[in-house]
Structure 1
């Protein structure tokens, strides 16, 4: 029998904007967490989205993303449609935006498919008709969702409801890009979005087609072993063969056209979806894209000009009858996936080497022993492998998070950033810390990811005097094979050293990083080995 899902509840009530009391964590996504909360003023339950940002953004980038979030939440609040989760309010707490929405007590489509398997075509058609109506209402109001996927579709008893307009963009508004981040889910990302072109209502139609495909087939249109394969397939391959779609096949074929101008019109898609949903399965004629009567549009609708090193043939202008040449993979992968390990280490460096103090020499101030030295804290920490997993050595405490637990040195301060946490030694002379970050919602290829990140360190101005000390693949960890490396660098004149381990865990890729001044390195290593040895699921 399946174990009931445990909900994470804050240890003490947290109140946002002196009004909304957080009750329990409902779920997490790429742009933050969603909480069930109680509106103390109106005495009603609401959902609150806690907006979290990718690590590594500077102050100006953070301000731009927050400004964009406030603006988009206000735009989403204009939408009044039964198929769209209502946005009640957007408030600021601790300098960050929180989006208050109607609480819809209904399962998401992805969970329904996992529990029930592929859904019947007629049921999927009804879901699609509801979502299409919601999207058309949003598009008429000038709002593009940008992240239509099964996880953002809630199935109530009466209809399908679309949620999470938190990363939507307002048509015609100034674009505030989230530097170096994937906005959207790769498996449901329209090809033009994968090439970092501006999302449009047609992009939402492609994502709707991918969502309906997943509902009726039981998996996304492109099943590949890793995110690189998915992104490459979205750009150049036809969707995987359909086995169960039946009468839905023409609709899916029409919505999943790579050229936005060639996709099925929403009027036609809506008519077919309603017919399939209302009657017994019947034959729907194969749909063909429009020809000849297309209004001339801008050249190269689906691919930006590729650098000379990534050119693959000619004829990439729209309307010439030839498929645009796909740029090399590195020209189209959004940098967040590639640089995630770089960003997390960079944030830790800023936290510790800028805010942590210390003189870089590694010697404790007079009369005050450094943690890890004799006289304070654990003398050296246990060696790797000592103690059984789950036990807490003397001088440590067990940190219990919603996704994982681990032993942390007593006195180290936790600085949570949504699902990411940095632990910092408060001893200014020690200048060290450990950070945990979920860097991607895919698993596998740890060595590839870390190797790509390592290549970027060499030319990163934030890591002067960079020197790789060790790189290792196939490190046994949590039943899988992790990748890890160590390197040295200089920050603000202080020599530092990093040990980072990248691994698959809980359906995603995680990165655990320790950073310390070089003078404290040997005394700091046992803290990290203990943290790794005790890291596990709750």
Structure 2
């Protein structure tokens, strides 16, 4: 087994273990040659194998890594290298700051129809790229799907992927995960694209029902898949694609093209009405919210949020801002010439309280509250989650890695711990769109600050983003919001 600090083939330094699956241990690592983060998969070799069996496994690992390295797409984890250290095979991959889909489901419960369709559609894109390259994945399941902190959806762990043209790799074994393995594969048929599509259907079912469509027991499978009552548990909008992908007969199973069409129809919300431009003629600044911080799961992390018609919007019960004499008051001040502080009002969340600008539009999704300035030049976000023993500064560093890879002209202004009553860290940066998959406007410069506040076992993330031109003008408002934010108290 690897250990933190270990150097693999004099190049890849192990940082910390991220998780272990049936095929091996995955580590966060650092490529000392190219000075970049990587994920290092330690392929666990059973100790009872003979010398020949061990060599066969190492050769098979190398062959499968070469198969995966043929695939280059943003929805597929990139394989950089395959290495051997003291007879132990390692696969060096792209590091994607993320949570696995199974952890998302476990932490959040059933996903919304739109979110499930978006994830499934992107996984289907990854599978289509792989199948076009003559590669089948063979183990599509929630644990092998990563939801990036930047919103990216990535299919990972091609560790048992098979090239259909490789006679050494094709076999009739039943490698895969029960509950997500196609019935013909459980019966011993060779791996084929149709089997990956069945596994995707099972994964989509699990996203909205929180369990696979069956428990891996082939006995009741034929009966189960004909029961309307079972599929009735899935939302009606997704039922056609779920039933089509879970057809028992591969010849009658829905194809990738039809599944993609149905998923994209569900995933695309109605367009939001255009908002009138400010009278000054200021150019359109942003099509959606830029960066909303979300901390969740055992690793913790961030998600990108875009307010649209699929999100839950509307009035929220708020009390008028208290008089400034109150020790918790948010000043209700009439703006003065630039720079100025906007009028604020209280918003009460679940145990937390924030002063938010009056007249800003609120959108809430997945536990994150985001307020946007009417002309789209500034955004405030607040989220509160349990903390799993992570250092707040390290969390911000992970987020910085994800952001800097997505945007143009990224520059760190500061990333530091802030002294105070609660454990706090702040990260300030500037960057230029596009980024966040087209949600930020091309060529527009942004200025951003994220503050993490740890109070007991609860963590608040307060985010503030403006266009570069509005930063100085709105800085007093940001400072007031940070000053008067009251974090959630830990459970008694």
CA offsets, 1:153-203, max 9 Å, x none?
111233311000011011121235899x85211010111111222110111
Secondary structure of the 2:98 match is coil
Q: CA deviation at 1:57?
A: 3.6
Of the three residues 237, 241, 259, the one matched with 1:269 is: 259
Q: Relative to structure 1, is the Cα distance of residues 243 and 182 closer, same or farther in structure 2, using a 3 angstrom cutoff?
A: same
Contact 2:110 2:209 (C-alpha < 8 Å) held by counterparts:
yes
2:165 is aligned to 172
Structure 2 distance, partners of 1:96, 1:168, is 20
SS in 2 for 1:166: helix
Alignment partner of 1:22 out of 14, 24, 37: 14
Alpha-carbon distance change, 234 to 40 in structure 1, aligned in 2, over 3 angstroms: farther
Partners of 1:217 and 1:242 within 8 A in 2: no
CA deviation profile, 1:194-213 (whole Å, cap 9, x unmatched): 12221101110000000110
Aligned-residue offset at 1:115 = 0.8
The answer to whether the aligner puts 1:113 opposite 2:100 as a matched pair is: no
Cα gap change, 1:177/1:144 in structure 2, threshold over 3 Å: closer, same or farther? closer
Shift in alpha-carbon separation, 1:236–1:29, aligned structure 2, 3 A: farther
Query: Is the Cα–Cα contact under 8 Å of residues 65 and 177 in structure 1 kept in the other structure?
Result: no
Instruction: Quote the residue 1:148 is aligned against.
Output: 140
**CA deviation map 1:343-382 (0-9, x unaligned):** xxxxxxxxxxxxxxxxxxxxxxxxxxxxxxxxxxxxxxxx
Aligned match of 2:114: 122
CA distance in structure 2 between the partners assigned to 1:194 and 1:175 by the alignment: 20
Contact 2:164–2:170 (Cα < 8 Å) also in 1: no
Tell me the distance in 2 between the aligned counterparts of 1:27 and 1:126: 26
Match of 2:219 among 207, 232, 239: 232
CA–CA distance in 2 between the matches of 1:95 and 1:173?
Answer: 24
How is 1:523-534 mapped onto 2 (pairs within 5 angstroms)? Answer: none
Q: 2-side partners of 1:164 and 1:30: how far apart?
A: 11
1:74 and 2:66 matched: yes
Is 2:26 the partner of 1:34?
Answer: yes
Mapped contact 1:65–1:178 kept (Cα < 8 A):
no
Alignment of 1:53 onto 2:45: yes
Distance in 1, Cα, partners of 2:2 & 2:169: 33
Match of 1:81, SS?
Answer: coil
Give the alignment of 1:161-240 within 5 angstroms. Answer: 161-176=154-169, 183-223=175-215, 230-234=217-221, 237-238=224-225, 240=230
| Structure 2 Cα separation of the partners of residues 91 and 60 of structure 1 | 19
Task: State the alpha-carbon separation in 2 of the partners of residues 69 and 244 from structure 1.
Answer: 38
| Matches of 2:112 and 2:105, distance apart in 1 | 11
* CA shift for structure 1 position 121: 1.2
Q: Which runs of 5+ in 2 are unaligned?
A: 271-492
Across the aligned residues of Structure 1 and Structure 2, the Cα RMSD in angstroms comes to: 2.2
Q: Is the 8 A contact 1:127 1:159 kept in 2?
A: no
Deviation at 1:95, TM superposition (A): 1.6
> What is residue 255 of structure 1 aligned with on the other side?
245
* Matched residue, 2:153: 160
- In structure 1, the gaps of 5 or more residues are 1-7, 281-538
Is the 8 Å Cα contact of residues 186 and 231 (structure 1) preserved in structure 2? no
Q: In 1, Cα distance between the equivalents of 2:224 and 2:50?
A: 37
The 1:237–1:176 alpha-carbon spacing in structure 2 relative to 1, beyond 3 Å, is same
SS at match of 1:274: helix
C-alpha displacement at 1:234, in angstroms? 4.1
User: How far off its partner does 1:63 sit?
Assistant: 2.2
Q: Tell me, what secondary structure is at the counterpart of 2:159?
A: coil
One of 86, 89, 95 as aligned partner of 2:78: 86
Output the CA distance in 1 between the equivalents of 2:168 and 2:218.
23
Whether the aligned pair in 2 keeps the contact of 1:247 and 1:276 (CA below 8 Å) is: yes
Q: 1:192 to 1:244 in 2, by over 3 A?
A: closer
Distance in 2 between the 1:38 and 1:49 partners?
13
Deviations 1:48-71 (A, max 9, x none): 111113454433333222212101
The change in CA–CA distance for 1:174 and 1:259 in structure 2 (over 3 A counts) is: same
1:351-390 equivalences in 2 (<5 Å): none
How far apart in 1 are the matches of 2:88 and 2:137?
Answer: 22
Are positions 1:43 and 2:35 aligned together?
Answer: yes
TM-score, normalised relative to structure 1: 0.47
